[in-house]
Amino acid sequence: MALPAHLPGMTTRDAIIDAFYRCVNAYDYADDTLFESSLTPNLTITMLGQTMHGRDEIRKHNYDFVKTLDTTHFLSNIRVQIKEGEKEAEVTCNAVAYHYRPGTGSLPDAKTLVSGALYDCLVVWDEGEGLWKIREWEFKLMWREGDGSVMQPSEVGASGDHHKPMFTRTKTNPHTKDIYKIVQNNEQNMSIFDTDTAGLPDSHRATDSAHRKIELQQPADLTYLIANLSRSAREKLDKHFPPSASQQGVSGEDAMRKRVEDLVSNYITNTFALAKPNLSINGLSSTEMETELARAGGEGGEEEELAPFDSKLAQRLQALAAQIEAQTLQLANLRRTAPGETARKWEEGFVGRGREWEERFAVEGRGRMELARGVDVGVSEVKRQEEVERSWRDGEERLGVLKTGMGSTVARLEKAKMAVEVAEEK
C-alpha cells in the first residue's frame, strides 16, 4: 500500500513535522515517492562528520541501501520554530533507529544496530507541490549499540549461515559500502567506555553483540555492587584477622592483615576495572566510571552503604509528595478565598437573622392586635354624667365671655396706667 504525501486537515505545525514523518517512513517502507516529497533537490545533510549535497547523492550513498534493511525509526521531542512569514521553519527532534539485515528483523537472534541521534533541520515551503520539505539536515549521533556490520552489504543471515533472506525489497546498492566505512571510522566515538579495544573490529571484542552487557540504570547501582563486595571482603577479613587480635608491635598494626587487605582491595578494583567493557550504564562516561571505582577502592573515612532500590518505598514517597503538594495548593486556595467567603456567609447570616426577627415581630404584633380587638373593657355608665356635661358647657360659655371682654378690659387698664403716670408727674 502506497502512503500518500498529502494529508488533509493539518495545521501548519503538523504539516512541517509531517516532512520528517514522510522521510523516516520512506526509509522504513522503501517508498521512493515519500522520499522525494520530504527533501528538497538541493538538500545538504551532515552525518558522522561527512557532508552530502543534493537529494540524488543522498539517495545514492544512503537511502538506496538503508531502505533494503529491516528498519524502524522513531521521532520524539519535536520542536518547531516558524519564521519569515511561515515560509521557513527550524525543527529539532530526537530519533531512535533500529536496523536489521534484510529479512532478519523477526529472527530472535538476529544481529541489530540501534542508534540514537539528534536532528537539527531547516524546513522550507515548496509552493509547487504544496508541501514542507527538509533543506538542511544536521545529524548528530549520540549513541549506538549492536553490530556495526549490519550496515555492511552481506548475504550472511542472523545465524551466520549463508542463505537467501525471507524477503528483499531492492537489490543491494554498491555504494552502501560507503555507509559501512563511515560507521567503522566512527567506531571509537560510539563506545560507552574508552577501552583499549575500541579500535578493534566487532568480531575481536570481548563485548561482542552476541554477549549482552550487564545493564545498570545509574552509577549508584555500580556503587552498591562495589560496596557490597567490599563489605563482604571486610567481614571475611575481620573473621580470619580479628581487629582485637591484631594489636601487635609498637605501631599497633598487623602487617599480615594489612598486606591481605591491600591485596583484596586491589583485586576488587582490578575486577571492576576489567569489567568496564561488559557494563552498560545510562549516560556514564569513562571519567565517571573511574571516579566510582576510585571511591570504592579508596582508603580512610567512612564508606557509604547503599540499600537496594525499593520501588514500593519510592511509590509511597511520590504519593506523599503529591499529597503534600495537593494540601499546599488547597491551603493557598483557602488563604485566597476563605476571608471573603467567611465575610459573605456572616453578612448573609446577619441579614437573614434580621429579616427573620422583623417577620416574627410583625407576626407577633398582628396577633396581639387581633387579641386586643377581641377584649371587652367593660366600661359602665359614668356617674353624674349630666352634671359634668352641664359644668363643661358653663365653663365654655364663661370662657367665651371672657374672651370677648378681654380687649375692653385691657384698654381700660392702659388708660388707668396712663392716668397714674400723669398724676405722679404733678
Sheet holding 88-100, edge to edge: 50-53, 39-47, 131-146, 112-126, 88-100, 70-83
The Cα–Cα gap between 140 and 119 comes to 7
Domain ranges of the chain: 12-190, 215-311
Positions of E strands within 192-333:
214-216, 279-281
The Cα–Cα gap between 235 and 244 comes to 14
CATH for the 12-190 domain, from 3.10.450.50, 3.40.350.10, 3.30.360.10, 3.20.20.100: 3.10.450.50
The Cα–Cα gap between 261 and 115 comes to 43
Whether 175 has a pLDDT exceeding 80, the answer reads: no
Q: For residue range 378-422, list pLDDT tens digits in order.
A: 666 767 888 888 899 999 888 888 888 888 888 888 889 898 888
- Prediction pTM value: 0.40
Nearest to 81 by CA among 93, 90, 70, 73: 90
Average of per-residue pLDDT across 108-119:
90
| SS3 of residue 181 by DSSP | helix
Q: In the predicted model, what is the mean pLDDT of the chain?
A: 79
Say what the pLDDT of residue 133 is.
94
Say what the pLDDT of residue 192 is.
31
Q: What is the amino acid identity at position 230?
A: S
Q: For residue range 213-263, list pLDDT tens digits in order.
A: 777 777 777 788 888 899 999 899 888 888 765 455 545 667 888 888 899
Average of per-residue pLDDT across 270-289:
72
Say what the pLDDT of residue 406 is.
84
Strand pairing class (112-126; 88-100): antiparallel
